[in-house]
Amino acid sequence: MTLTVHPCARGVRTLALDAPHRRNALSAALVAELSAALTACGEDPGVRAVVLTHTGTAFSAGADLRDPPDPKALTGLLRQLVELPKPVVARVTGHVRAGGLGLLAACDIAAGSTTSTYAFTEVRVGVAPALISLPLLPRTDPRALARYCLTGERFDAAEAARVGLLTAAGDDVDAVLEPVLDGLRKAAPGALAETKRLLTARVLETFDRDADALAALTARLFTAADAREGMTAFLERRDPAWVL
């Protein structure tokens, strides 16, 4: 198992990415387990909201290069997070890279500790942040996104909050989330679902328009020469051939 499903606590179900030895990389297995858990949360009338968190020092390192998910499966997971009729809240206390940032962007609310760090590392292994752009582009600052996606630079939680990737950041992420979860518990379930539908309409328009083309682009990029060199270099812990 690569996902831990915690008991529902006063209407909040916590799902923890639980493959710390792989830095919670998005493997085919993890994507399938998380999708199944989200489906169960959506169907459970006792679940008012979902918290998506992690074990270990990384929220997610992005796609698992040893067991990458099918692009359409990853697209489906991102869309499921956006469409779920329950609010999804990300709780981050570790590092987030590449595809992990897509999970954050697909959540309705995201809070990170001040020790967490973020980076769009795709260009450094020869690919592009194609699929994760679906929830990212409508929700984050375009100038900041251009900088960080093109350079792969690392940035901190305060910057992630400034550009819209996080809702809030703080030394104690649970203290940050306490009033958020309290507010969700006080809201009517039907009203939450309809309000989320209003808030995510523009994001879903992006999925409807671009998802198939971006899944095809991702599949093509992952088999190209740059990706083969970049991923080999990553696994061999060396710089790829293009580094100057």
Q: What whole-number distance in Å separates Cα of residue 79 and Cα of residue 30?
A: 16
The encoded tokens of residue 241 equal 């051939």
What is the distance in angstroms between the CA of the first residue and the CA of the last residue of the chain? 41
Domain boundaries, the chain: 3-171
Supply 2's token pair: 């690569």
What is the maximum alpha-carbon separation in the chain? Answer: 56
194 given a catalytic annotation: no
From 3.20.20.140, 3.40.50.1370, 3.90.226.10, 3.40.50.620, which CATH number describes the 3-171 domain? 3.90.226.10
Q: pTM above 0.85?
A: yes
Amino acid at 219: A
Tokens of 73: 């499966």
pLDDT at 134 over 90: yes
Helices 71-83 and 99-106, packing angle to 10 deg: 20
Mean pLDDT, the chain, integer: 97
pLDDT band at 67 (very low <50, low <70, confident <90, very high): confident
Q: Using 50, 70 and 90 to split pLDDT, how confident is the model at 201?
A: very high
| Catalytic-role residue among 33, 43, 83, 122 | 122
Confidence of residue 127 (pLDDT cuts 50, 70, 90): very high
